[in-house]
Chain A
Amino acid sequence: MLQTIGHLPIGWLLIAPLAAAGFFAFSFGRTEVGALPIGSTIGARLHSQPNYHGYFLAFSTILPAALIFLAYLLFAENYVRGALHSELPDYLLARGPEQVDLFIERVANYAGQRNIEDTGNLLFDASVDRYAILKGQARLVALAIAIVAALGGFFIGRRPLNRSFPARTYVEQTITALLFVCAAIAILTTVGIVLSLVYETLRFFSLPDGPGVFEFLFGTDWNAQTSQNFGAVPLFFGTLMIALLAMCVAVPVGLFAAIYLSEYASPRFRSWVKPILELLAGIPTVVYGFFAAALIAPLVRNLAQWVNSLPFTPDNFLAAQPTSALAAGLIMGVMIIPFVSSLSDDVINAVPQPLRDGALAVGATQSETIKQVVLPAAFPGIVAAVLLAMSRAIGETMIVVMAAGGRALITLDPTSDITTVTYQIVSLLTGDTAFDSAKTISAFALGFALFGITLLFNVIALRVVKRYREAYD
């Protein structure tokens, strides 16, 4: 019985009775107050409409049970695994915590499958059974507590219901609190990101076979996969190089496109071209990655080989790799064009018209007006746009994973397959489950560095944009 419950896919079914209980409590509260005879109790008039009494009762029924449910979702799995861990035989525990965690992970995964069969491994099968039983117990306990909480909430919530009961006030307070919780989730996300990155990064630097902070930040030898060399400078270099290549495409094209659209183009032309440019931003990055790797990278390679074959260049002048920084950078630049153009478009449009009119009135041509009046006025905003685009380029993952390479090199040759921070994070964290080798945790240190750099760019850019907006608004 317990075992069957433990094997059930998930407690989704609990949501339905919860919703039903809520609906029942709502209609009960509404009718109970609505049915009170007029003038029978203290006030002749209802303080709140019957609906609010219904909502009040529904909230007091559902919320405690929902909290229990949430707690179950968050902590049950941990508890069950811990209990299973304590029951494992010593000879398995002797294999070290990494092996044991992997074993429990496999047991949990297998128990979650649809059809369970004996695998023939006695310990494994017994653990799967035990896991299911423990899970079933946890579920039943959670369910029992939730039912008690719901019933308790219902009867406690029912008691004060009468005509003068200010149900609306309470309901609205609850709703405001719930709204606040929703808004706080955004903060919690940031806190979660920072905490997990900081925690894992600290763990990484305190590992016996991990590097020191100094070695990580300034070492030039990166080879996390095979040996334990964690000098991240080549990764930072590659990231910066590809991002700069991307900016070489995105800034001129995006900026000129924005200038043309906001200063020269007819409204009709603008209404057609702007959505097309924004379409570039809507294409998934994995598609750009495919395009860069399947079409652009071979072109870059052929070009590099052609350059190598020229009489005045040495044979190995360019690396001419099948995947290259140039291919990734070019396509990343195309992807970023709409960011630069739409942000610049905004700031150029925000420049007050009298400035332009003044310049035109003293005889400047339109391009002179733009170059000498509009652009200087919009300059801080454009810088902010470029910074935001740069932060986007630094954090971009799929294009570099597919079109740039995995070799940690420091070279100025754009046709070599240099690697980036994001590429390494993906290659370090795909496939491997164990979170205790220096190799996997190093991904979090890289992620922390990435987060720090992009955050810095974003904060500066957003501040500039904000100040700029205030200046002209």
Chain B
Amino acid sequence: MTEPAMPPESVQDARMRRRNQAERRFKLYGQLAIGIAVSFLAILLISISLRATAAFSRHLLVLDLPAAEFTDTKNIGITDLNLAVRADLLSAFPELSDNRSERAELFALSPRLAVLPVLRKLQTRPVDAESPVRARLALSDDVDLYLKNEIRTHRALHVGEAGRLARLSTGAYRLSDAGQDSFITFQDRLAEPGSPNQDILISLSGALFELADTAGASMILNHLAGPVPELGEQGSRPVTAIFLSSDSADRPLSNRQVAILILMRDAEMIERRFNASLFTNADSTYPELAGAAAAIVGSLFTMLITAIFAIPIGIFAAIYLEEFAPKSRLTSAIEVNINNLAAVPSIIFGLLGAAVFLNTFDLPRSVPLVGGLVLGLLVLPTIIIASRAALRSVPPSMREAALGLGASKSQAVFHHVLPLAAPGILTGAIIAMARALGETAPLLLIGMVAFVSDVPTSPNDEATVLPVLIYKWFSGSERAWEPMTAAIIIILLAILIAMNLVAVLLRRRFERRW
């Protein structure tokens, strides 16, 4: 039995097959290119969003301060409030009050200026002397990051039951087991090859110790935080080991601070809340206190100036060039010039602003007024080109009909052509404003990168804008700046996408095909 022989492939078939393969390959390249571009966009948006999530919530330390100290709300300052906060912290951790460096570790969890919002609240609202004042304080950026990421990687292990606790002359403690050799099993486990080499905390009836050494059936412990249980027999209380995920040398927090955080968390002194201060606070050198409010307002003022300056001028210039300009050398020069201007790098406009507005006309640095003018010049060509396209799309019959009925040239343009072109012009203007909103480089050159701690109240106040704030926060050295930068990027992108959506919807709604 032989299978029917396949007819030999002719030369032409082979060629055709190769050509078809080439065809498929070529098509695949195209699909691949689109795939690359789209997936890059997806990766960019997803990775930035993932990074941003950490910054939209944050941990706050909740303390109930005695109201009696704050009845005289006029005269309390940051220092008074800080003293009260510290006293409250010490009353929660009395065992730390004797040692200066231990106190410092406790107080370092929350920055001094974290009491500012509480102070503002106290100054505006009368204090009820009976009920305590609830203070929510920002924790320092390192603490916040630890609570967000690392604390979840702690592993707890039940070691055994406690026997006797004794204090050594060095200040350390010796804890022996309840006689079941459970500590020895634990030590053998630690000695196993491959067991990670991290810091280990030992928890015994509400106190946390650091495992300093092991000695047979007992452990040598350094006290970190929490009330030390009475020395002597512990009555078989459970002993738990907490494996930290890092070595204290590799992290900004000490073991004692981690222990305090664990105790605070168990005592529900720490709350995770929506990070509203990201929107309500002005900039700060502390990431945990910084917010984008000043930059958002600065962006608004800058956009206002840009809009007032560039949109009317751009539309009028487009009307002139499209409807009134005689076909002369000058007009064609203006045309070429506008096309070229649209492609000039944005940083050149920054140089123009620095040389002309700041140096020649002595306008103030770092103000939205100058920033808005520079951005206005930058987007002017875009607006002119978009408006011209919109005007051009209005059919000549509209003009001719108006002129035929006796309207003058400008009546025809302003009463008939312009209203018909308005949706297109508006779309172009919105897209140009979106571009201006995202522009950074020219603003750096006119000083809008200065540190501004107040929310600006007029276009003539020192201010910064959202994209510049992104650049500034990105340059900050603390790790906490990164999620915050990502968070304001998300805010900026949301605004930009909203503007573009409005433009698209406008176009869909009002676009007329002639």
A binding-site residues for B, Cβ under 8 Å:
9-10, 12, 74-75, 77-78, 81, 108-109, 112, 114, 168, 172, 175-176, 178-180, 182-187, 189-190, 192-193, 196-197, 199-200, 252-257, 259-261, 263-264, 273, 275-277, 279-280, 282-291, 293-295, 334, 337-338, 341, 365-368, 370-371, 388, 391-392, 394-398, 401-402, 422, 425-426, 429-431, 433, 435, 443-444, 447, 450-451, 454-455, 458-459, 462
Contact = CB atoms under 8 A, between A and B. Distances in A.
Contacts of B30: 256-257, 259-261, 263-264
A261 B41 CA distance: 18
Interface of B: 19-20, 22-23, 25-27, 29-34, 36-38, 40-41, 44, 47-48, 51, 312-314, 316-317, 319-321, 324-325, 333-334, 336-341, 343-352, 354-356, 359-365, 369, 377, 380-381, 384, 408-410, 434-435, 437-441, 444-445, 447, 449, 457-461, 467-468, 470-471, 474, 482, 485-486, 489, 492-493, 496, 500, 504
B41 A279 contact: yes
B317 A183 contact: yes
Given A190-B337, A259-B30, A430-B449, A287 B355 contact: no
Contact of A253 (B37, B324, B334): B37
A395 B434 CA distance: 20
Contacts of A394: 345
Contacts of B41: 276, 279-280
A196 to B, nearest CB: 4
A184 B334 contact: yes
Contact of B359 (A197, A273, A395, A435): A435
A186 B337 contact: yes
A374 to B, nearest CB: 12
A183 B29 contact: no
A172 to B, nearest CB: 5
Given A9-B458, A253-B36, A284-B440, A367 B316 contact: no
Given A260-B33, A367-B26, A451-B348, 12 more contacts: A9-B461, A10-B369, A172-B409, A182-B313, A183-B334, A260-B31, A282-B500, A396-B345, A401-B441, A402-B474, A425-B347, A431-B449
Given A286-B438, A426-B441, A426-B445, A74 B485 contact: no
A182 B355 contact: no
B362 A108 contact: yes
A277 to B, nearest CB: 6
A86 B316 CA distance: 43
B201 to A, nearest CB: 32
Contacts of A275: 504
Nearest to B409: A172
A365 B20 contact: yes
Contacts of B27: 260, 264, 366-367
List of 3 A-B pairs having minimum Cβ-Cβ separation, nearest first: A395-B345, A260-B30, A284-B438
Contacts of A252: 33
A294 B482 CA distance: 8
A397 B377 CA distance: 18
Nearest to B310: A185
A441 to B, nearest CB: 10
B163 to A, nearest CB: 50
B356 A192 contact: yes
A395 to B, nearest CB: 2
Contact of A193 (B344, B444, B485): B344
A362 to B, nearest CB: 14
Nearest to A191: B337
A77 B337 contact: no
A284 B440 CA distance: 8
- The binding surface of chain A is classed by DSSP as helix
Nearest to A435: B359
Given A257-B30, A443-B351, A397 B344 contact: no
Contact of B320 (A180, A255, A282, A294): A180
Contact of B364 (A109, A180, A395): A109
Nearest to B44: A291
Given A402-B471, A430-B449, A179 B31 contact: no
Contacts of B470: 286-287, 290
Contact of B363 (A77, A280, A455): A77
B34 A260 contact: yes
Contacts of B355: 196-197, 199-200, 435, 444
Residue of B37, B48, B380, B445 with most partner-chain A CB within 10 A: B37
Contacts of A114: 457, 461
Contacts of B500: 279, 282
A426 B26 CA distance: 43
Contacts of B317: 179, 182-183, 185-186
A34 to B, nearest CB: 19
A257 B33 contact: yes
Given A81-B362, A402-B471, A426 B320 contact: no
Contact of A395 (B325, B346, B352, B467): B346
Contacts of B369: 10
B351 A455 contact: no
Contacts of B460: 9-10, 112
Given A172-B410, A193-B352, A273-B34, A284 B340 contact: no
Residue of B34, B51, B319, B321 with most partner-chain A CB within 10 A: B34
B292 to A, nearest CB: 14
Contacts of B336: 462
8 contacts: A109-B365, A180-B324, A182-B316, A193-B351, A256-B34, A283-B496, A367-B26, A451-B348
Contacts of B489: 287, 290
Contacts of A433: 365, 447
B26 A290 contact: no
A192 B373 CA distance: 13
Contact of B324 (A179, A193, A368, A396): A179
Contact of A294 (B51, B356, B435): B51
Contacts of A108: 362, 364
B386 to A, nearest CB: 14
B380 A186 contact: yes
A105 to B, nearest CB: 8
Contacts of B441: 285, 397-398, 401, 422, 426
Contacts of A259: 30
Contact of A454 (B36, B44, B345, B468): B345
Contacts of A285: 438, 440-441
A253 B47 contact: no
B361 A74 contact: yes
Contact of A429 (B20, B31, B47, B445): B445
Nearest to B339: A462
A275 B30 CA distance: 17
Nearest to B441: A397
Nearest to B38: A276
A388 B41 CA distance: 22
